[in-house]
Structure 1
Amino acid sequence: MYIMANMPVQNTLLATLNETENIEFKTVNSGQLPQNIWEDITAFSNADGGYICFGVNPDGVIAGVPSQFRDELMKNVSSYCSSAFNHKIYPDVITEGTAIKVYIPPAAASLRPIFSTSRGLPSGGRVRVGTTNVQLDDEWIRRFAIAAKGGAELVIFSGDYSQYFSQDYIDRYLEVVMKRRGDVYATLKIEEILKKLRAIDVEEKITLFGLLAFSNPYGLQELTAPTVNIAVTQYSGTSKVNLKDVSEVSVDDREFSGNAVSQFEEALRFILSKLPIRSRIETGGKRAEYLAIPEVAIRETLANAIAHRDYTTYQGRIQVDIYSDRIEFANPGRSIIPLDQLENAHPETRNPLLMSYLRDLKITEHRGRGIRTIKNSLKAAGLAEPKFENKHDWFVTTIYSSAFINDSDQAWLKQFSIFKLNEKQLKALVYVKHHPIGITNSQYREINNMNDVRDDIRAKKELKRLVNKGVFKPSGENRYRKYLLSKEIEAE
């Protein structure tokens, strides 16, 4: 598909792009495709899709595609995508000024892995992880095969379900269902109920969902792997290394196994027991105690990690790290929803059966409300916004136990009131106050939870306004540029 863009390149999406996890820049001097272009095409096809921008230098400067080669290059892209891989790929080929932008869509789960037919598997396939094209290996091929068959929840395990399921957890769930939907299973035998729930298949073989929902204390980990659990580690400071005692590994370290509900309930109790207790004087002089982080935020974040983790891989467990100033929750599997759409996008999940099960038990929020609940509870408590990140093949949520701007910072910021700065700019000022070496565009976006592809430009404009007002002074060029407090501000 060819799309001709009439607007000048500086006003289009291309002008806002950096070479990131779903964007690659390519310099071309002819109509021929780069020899390694198959790597980018398969990598994007096997992940979330992405853009290949021809005529753009690695530093993001638009060099353009020579006019005599543009038509040839566009035809070659479409032809190559149609013939060089195990399944046809249908790119969007867009001209923007002198550059050509090619969108490679994500392949359907049933078609993955996409690979170069001349190279075969595994050497001819790549998958995008972060900003890197990773060669497919047996683990990735296995994960794609599972996804093609309907997902990890319906993977089958041998064994009699009665030896691996807990009747107590089955009864607990059926009691909840009966209260909510009536006694819909009254006339059915237990095997028929479990089949309807897809906890076992038609041959009464155990499914992964069945283990996640109803496993006894050892069944899930015995039939899958020890890593299908939760590990919680507490550290004494703000990093994993205690500079006062480098021999100290951690303050406390626990693992929680069993089924998903057991893991959730036991890990939640442990995490809450590690949170500092704060107090305030209420009306009438009565002292009230409260957790440093609202329980609802911890609860929902932990539930999300369980519900959305990628169960096609056993190479990592859900990891919760408790620091003195924050808690980090990491689960295998990147967010399948773009980070800038987490709060408002139509809900999606890798594990619909598990999500429905946890929702019935009121462990997770109603559809699409989890992220909003986390953010609202932290805001109401006066805490900093949470941070959501895709790190390689993991999704990481960070919850802070203090406000980003404290009382001392608020007093210091009063001197800037005449400039009428927005909240993001005020945060940047406080950041540089505590980090005199300066703030970069990337750090500005990070502290302000700016995840949209266009936010690089927005951040640049807001930082430039601070320079124009005489508050910041720039240091360095392009991607290495930092912004420091001006000498006039430093002297005050």
Structure 2
Amino acid sequence: MEYIKEILFTINNCIESDTFIDVEKSNIELKDLSTGNEWASLKETLCAFLNTNGGYVICGVRERNKKYIFRGFDRKNEGGLIDLQNKFFKNSDGVLLDLSDYINFDYINFKDGEVVIIKVNSLSDDLKYVKFNEIYIERKLTGDFPISTSRVLQQIEYKKEIENSKEIAFVENAELKDLSLDKINQFILLLNQSYKKESIKPSLNKAKQFLENRHFIKNDKVTTLGMLVCGEDPFKFLENRSEVDCYYDTSSSISKDDKDFQGDVLSLMDDALRFVWGHIRTGRVIEDGGKSVPEYPEELVREMINNSLAHRDYTINKFATVIIEPGKYLQVKNPGAFKENIKITNVETVIPIRRLIPGIPESKNPKLASILKAYDKIESQGRGMASLVNATLANYVDLPFYDLKDNSTISLTIPSGKLLDEETESWINSFENYITNKLKDKITFEHKIVLAYFKKSEIHNRNRLYTILLSESNNHLDIIDQLRNCVLIYEHPASTENIPVYILDRELMKSNFNNELIELLGDAFIHYDVTIKNILNILFRYTKYNKLPVKPASITPEIYILENGKYIDPKKFESLGRKIRGNCKKLSEKGVLEKTQNGAYRLNLNFKNDGLFS
């Protein structure tokens, strides 16, 4: 409630000083409730909060013309509040739902009266969506809007799939005594942090009704859900389903490390995160006084691990795996498979497409997901992929990809580095003149980051790996529109009316100019070593598409990554830099390259091969 008290403090200051600071957000709404219309508006907002990410409604204050007006809440209307829990919101079958676990109230003294705080928790996926006055409503920014019919139908189909959810299947040989009373009471304390709902249970028998309500037991039998959350010794009954194996892999056998963790789902999440974070590499950045920056953002690592355990298939008796290799990748493997409607697979065309559609409900364990939200372990359903995309587009990490070749395992990998790394910057710089001529404008960071996303997606797709589809929800719609309008990207045949799949202008995907170089330099080109071929390929690209010379130092990172991978060995990098400078000088002396006064080179496209070039 401290969060709400801070908002009320701000409102009070605004009233007393006749100023205005907007406090309404996607999860905060103010309602007066002095008229019937306000009560109808309140129900619409509650419906939207239930169907989206939850939120708070402060009743007794309103904002008009950038001024706050306090009227307070009359307790004579308390019955109207209680009715909100079970008299207005229906499911898709038209049945009124008891939502007392999702809608709660509390009074707070404010000025010379009091306000009511309504806390709304997001519905679990097996209850979404609800409707008010026959309209399904969702929250977008600070407004309430109808949910499209197609999304409602999609959710109804999804609910049918999870009606027989395996998370509430009975655990063989497990009894009530195999649950931990301490863990049950810890969960109750968590639920009571905002509003008191349950009393602490003195015994397992006294906890039975609570456990039944939470689907931890059913007909006195323990469910998988109950064992995962409150089991005294989950591994005894769930075996590999309650285990995470973590590996720290390096090129040196001395520094390798591995740990096998067993326990309830909450401890598994904490143990796996602690292991990974203990082996994360940190570097320094020039900004902010050279502060230390981890190889992967902590929040993203946490979400990656927690989502894998929240949404894995608990019918498969296999453990989850977390692997970290510094300088190379972070990988999480969990038992399960994506539904077909989340995958876009088109491999019959010249350009194969393997993309995953973000935002589609996918949880196999909606009740577990709902509990983990209460523990603040995961966000709303469908946000996991969006978080990965947002972190990638912010250039915090390189492009994540999924390996789905094993039909019973989902393998998610985040490569070390950034989406817009030195190699990709070099690629974009080499096409700068070509890109700006099409854009009719300068290339911005946003242009670069989206182009890099599409390029790397296509490369991974070609290697039978899936990447997350860029969509409107990724907040780069304007950039995508610009790139599409100037034909730097275009729709792949796998696109549909509602789901466009973009690929790059084919010129931008050219990286091998060996045929053009053989035509220019003759067959001697075939016999040159890899480094010289890479130099000539990159300089051909710069010369043809950028029209500007480039210094050896600018192409060294790209060649290093091509030949050695992303992990930089300073000695190897320095040695390669000397080799590139030396080869550029020799090729210039032979007339293959032209050197400028500032030490930059371009390919001599008018080179005449007289048979002497070797």
Q: Does 1:391 align with 2:405?
A: yes
Give the aligned residue type for 1:228. S
**Equivalence for 2:266:** 261
| Counterpart among 140, 143, 166 of residue 180 in structure 2 | 166
**Equivalence for 1:402:** 417
**Equivalence for 2:281:** 276
Q: Does 1:214 align with 2:266?
A: no
**Equivalence for 1:228:** 242
C-alpha contact 2:356 2:468 (8 A) present in aligned 1: no
**Equivalence for 2:324:** 322
Classify 1:231/1:249 alpha carbon distance in 2 versus 1 (closer, same or farther; 3 Å).
Answer: farther
Deviations 1:234-265 (A, max 9, x none): 111xxxxx4xx6xx498111111110001111
SS in 2 for 1:233: strand
Q: Does 1:312 align with 2:315?
A: yes
C-alpha contact 1:281 1:287 (8 A) present in aligned 2: yes
Shift of 1:178: 1.3
Classify 1:167/1:234 alpha carbon distance in 2 versus 1 (closer, same or farther; 3 Å).
Answer: same
Give the aligned residue type for 2:224. L
**Equivalence for 1:359:** 373
SS in 2 for 1:391: coil
Distance in structure 2 (CA, Å) of the matches to 1:412 and 1:201 = 59
Within 5 Å, give how 1:31-110 maps onto structure 2. Answer: none
Classify 1:429/1:266 alpha carbon distance in 2 versus 1 (closer, same or farther; 3 Å).
Answer: closer
C-alpha contact 1:152 1:311 (8 A) present in aligned 2: yes
Shift of 1:375: 2.7
Distance in structure 2 (CA, Å) of the matches to 1:150 and 1:441 = 33
TM-score with structure 1 setting the length: 0.55
SS in 1 for 2:218: coil
Could you tell which deviates more after superposition, 398-407 or 325-334?
A: 398-407
C-alpha contact 2:231 2:264 (8 A) present in aligned 1: yes
Distance in structure 2 (CA, Å) of the matches to 1:256 and 1:403 = 30
**Equivalence for 2:342:** 338
SS in 2 for 1:399: strand
Within 5 Å, give how 1:129-140 maps onto structure 2. Answer: none
**Equivalence for 1:382:** 396
Classify 1:461/1:273 alpha carbon distance in 2 versus 1 (closer, same or farther; 3 Å).
Answer: closer
Classify 1:364/1:250 alpha carbon distance in 2 versus 1 (closer, same or farther; 3 Å).
Answer: same
C-alpha contact 1:334 1:394 (8 A) present in aligned 2: yes
Q: Does 1:191 align with 2:191?
A: no
SS in 2 for 1:255: strand
Shift of 1:464: 3.4
Q: Does 1:418 align with 2:433?
A: yes
Paired residues in the alignment total: 317
RMSD: 4.1
Q: Does 1:153 align with 2:168?
A: yes
Deviations 1:270-318 (A, max 9, x none): 11111012223445xx44223210011111111111111111110x211
Classify 1:234/1:339 alpha carbon distance in 2 versus 1 (closer, same or farther; 3 Å).
Answer: farther
Give the aligned residue type for 1:382. Y
**Equivalence for 1:465:** 507
C-alpha contact 1:383 1:402 (8 A) present in aligned 2: yes
**Equivalence for 1:179:** 193
Shift of 1:232: 0.7
Give the aligned residue type for 1:254. K
Give the aligned residue type for 2:309. I
Shift of 1:411: 4.4
Classify 1:211/1:414 alpha carbon distance in 2 versus 1 (closer, same or farther; 3 Å).
Answer: same
Q: Structure 2, unaligned stretches of length 5 or more?
A: 1-156, 345-354, 437-446, 472-490, 496-500, 516-533, 543-592, 594-602, 604-614
Give the aligned residue type for 1:406. D
Classify 1:185/1:195 alpha carbon distance in 2 versus 1 (closer, same or farther; 3 Å).
Answer: farther
Distance in structure 1 (CA, Å) of the matches to 2:460 and 2:285 = 38
Shift of 1:423: 5.0
Give the aligned residue type for 1:384. D
SS in 1 for 2:291: strand
Shift of 1:407: 3.4
C-alpha contact 2:229 2:266 (8 A) present in aligned 1: yes
Distance in structure 1 (CA, Å) of the matches to 2:373 and 2:322 = 22
Give the aligned residue type for 1:269. R
Shift of 1:328: 0.8
SS in 1 for 2:247: strand
Shift of 1:357: 0.9
**Equivalence for 1:443:** 462
Q: Which has the higher Rg, Structure 1 or Structure 2?
A: 2
Shift of 1:220: 1.3
C-alpha contact 1:305 1:331 (8 A) present in aligned 2: yes
**Equivalence for 2:549:** none
Distance in structure 1 (CA, Å) of the matches to 2:469 and 2:297 = 24
Give the aligned residue type for 1:177. L
Distance in structure 2 (CA, Å) of the matches to 1:471 and 1:292 = 29
Give the aligned residue type for 2:282. I
C-alpha contact 1:110 1:148 (8 A) present in aligned 2: yes
Distance in structure 1 (CA, Å) of the matches to 2:505 and 2:398 = 21
Distance in structure 1 (CA, Å) of the matches to 2:314 and 2:302 = 20
**Equivalence for 2:387:** 373
C-alpha contact 1:294 1:381 (8 A) present in aligned 2: no
Deviations 1:365-401 (A, max 9, x none): 1233222223323443532122234332211211223
Distance in structure 2 (CA, Å) of the matches to 1:428 and 1:169 = 44
C-alpha contact 1:233 1:252 (8 A) present in aligned 2: yes
Distance in structure 2 (CA, Å) of the matches to 1:233 and 1:201 = 37
Classify 1:423/1:450 alpha carbon distance in 2 versus 1 (closer, same or farther; 3 Å).
Answer: farther
Pick 1 or 2: higher relative contact order, CA cutoff 8 A, min separation 6.
1
Give the aligned residue type for 1:153. I
Classify 1:358/1:428 alpha carbon distance in 2 versus 1 (closer, same or farther; 3 Å).
Answer: closer
Distance in structure 2 (CA, Å) of the matches to 1:424 and 1:446 = 20
SS in 1 for 2:399: coil
Shift of 1:413: 3.7
Give the aligned residue type for 1:178. N
Shift of 1:466: 4.0
Within 5 Å, give how 1:12-31 maps onto structure 2. Answer: none
Give the aligned residue type for 2:435. K
C-alpha contact 1:445 1:456 (8 A) present in aligned 2: no
